[in-house]
Structure 1
Amino acid sequence: MKRRREMEKGSEIRSAIEELSMVVKVKPGVDPNVAYLPTKPFLYTCNLLIQILDKIGPTMAVLRQDIHQNIQRLEKIYELDPSIYSNLIEILKKEAGEGVAKKPTSCARALVWLTRSLDFTVNLLEKLAKDVGQNLEQVVEDAYNVSLKPWHGWISSAAYKVALKLIPDNKTFIKLLMIEDEDYDMLKEEIQQLVPLLLSLLDDIHSILRTFRLDKLKAN
């Protein structure tokens, strides 16, 4: 209930800090036989990401749709057997064993793209926390070029280039991220708490993806 109330007040960043603070206490390692990456907290964080992207506006609609579809794909397999698939590693092991991990509709591929979307988000937030005066369009473009563009085909890249023109100014975006009675210094402090938590989680996931040889997958 507490997390739901915070989300209703618009504190996506605070909710993510709370969730990830619990997740990163357990380091999964890279051995797929013993590694543990909790499915529900990961998906919860990805849903918070959607809410942050919504504040950027329609320019993020394509990325938002991809994230939502990938979340649904992982939720669907989780619900088949929560006792087993509460660990994302078990999902990867299942699909790797079946030889379908690299298929277009696999849950493994969904995890890959959700991870890259989180890479994009952490890069974006990190840049904004360093300098609120930066041009948001440039910040989004730089974050996209580092995290998503290397894996996109030319059609997706061209679509994002057009979408950049719809991005709001940075002051508007920062204001949307703040909750009532919060100022920029408070928001900056929260972002600085969130970024290392996200980076720790992402470092673990990237290590696991490399173990399963999924880290180089590109868009179809």
Structure 2
Amino acid sequence: MSSSESFLGFSNGRSFADVPVDDGIPTTEFLEASEYLVKLFDILGSTAFGAVISDMNGNIKKIRDRQTAEPGKSSTLQLLTAQEFEEKKKKATATEGLLWLSRGLDFTSKALRHNLSHPTEELVTSFQHSYDGTLKKHHNFVVKGIFSVALKATPYRKDFYEKIGVSTADPKDDERLTNWLSSLEKVVSTIQGFYGENKDFGF
């Protein structure tokens, strides 16, 4: 992504605002929006986020592989995971991948929401706050160390928003960012609710 291309312009990607949730989350649209969100970590501008990018892309691939193998049973995330579970596979790969991807999306959305809610706070503080409340409890000592390094490499707030083509002082930009974030939060909440209702999945 070039410095002149706005992340929220979505000229080369799908917005979470285009991902409906009411009748099941469509798998294709969700994966496209997730793939584009991963670019956000590229914008953060540090190789320290390589592990984060690799993990999220890996989970996206697990879901897409299942969709490719069983397109008729994968129109929505809910159908895809339910069908995979019904097959009684020893390892529900896509179901596990979606769970971890949703955790990564939750971490991202909470970091940005915290930052927008605290206009003078630097990104490193917001991302650390989010990590402590989301992913940290799921990580072992080694992974916690990797994230510690990555979070410390987070750019300054001003530089980050400039890179994604957003001026938080501009009401229109602020509205675009808020709408995108609200849509992401709604998708994450729906996935989390679905897993909460289906504890038989074993996660």
| TM-score of the pair, normalised by structure 1 | 0.79
Deviation at 1:97, TM superposition (A): 1.8
2:8 and 2:177 in contact (8 A); partners too: yes
Instruction: Give distance in 1, aligned partners of 2:67 and 2:2.
Output: 23
Is residue 43 of structure 2 the alignment partner of residue 48 of structure 1?
A: no
Instruction: Give distance in 1, aligned partners of 2:146 and 2:200.
Output: 25
* Aligned counterpart for 1:21 among listed residues 17, 24, 30: 17
Deviation at 1:187, TM superposition (A): 3.1
Instruction: Give distance in 1, aligned partners of 2:161 and 2:3.
Output: 18
Structure 1 residues 64 and 211, CA gap change in structure 2 (3 angstroms): same
Deviations 1:129-163 (A, max 9, x none): 22342122111111111121121122211221122
Deviations 1:181-200 (A, max 9, x none): x5332432222111221222
Instruction: Give distance in 1, aligned partners of 2:27 and 2:74.
Output: 7
Instruction: Give distance in 2, aligned partners of 1:167 and 1:206.
Output: 27
Per the alignment, residue 175 of structure 2 pairs with 189
Structure 1 residues 94 and 100, CA gap change in structure 2 (3 angstroms): same
1:27 and 1:204 in contact (8 A); partners too: no
Structure 1 residues 130 and 21, CA gap change in structure 2 (3 angstroms): same
Deviations 1:33-83 (A, max 9, x none): xxx221011111111211111111223211110011111111112112333
Instruction: Give distance in 1, aligned partners of 2:202 and 2:122.
Output: 31
- Figure out how many residues of one structure are paired with residues of the other and give that number: 199
Per the alignment, residue 11 of structure 1 pairs with 6
Per the alignment, residue 150 of structure 2 pairs with 163
Query: 5 Å matches for 1:80-119?
Result: 80-100=69-89, 103=91, 106-119=93-106
| Structure 1 segments unaligned to the other structure (5+ residues) | 1-5, 29-35
Deviation at 1:116, TM superposition (A): 0.8
Instruction: Give distance in 2, aligned partners of 1:134 and 1:19.
Output: 26
Q: What residue identity is the alignment partner of 2:5?
A: G
* Aligned counterpart for 2:121 among listed residues 107, 117, 134: 134
Residue range with higher mean Cα deviation, 136-145 or 184-193: 184-193
Q: What residue identity is the alignment partner of 1:92?
A: T
Q: CA RMSD in A?
A: 2.7
Instruction: Give distance in 2, aligned partners of 1:40 and 1:7.
Output: 25
Instruction: Give distance in 2, aligned partners of 1:155 and 1:66.
Output: 14
| Structure 2 segments unaligned to the other structure (5+ residues) | none
Deviation at 1:12, TM superposition (A): 3.1
Residue range with higher mean Cα deviation, 11-20 or 139-148: 11-20
| TM-score of the pair, normalised by structure 2 | 0.85
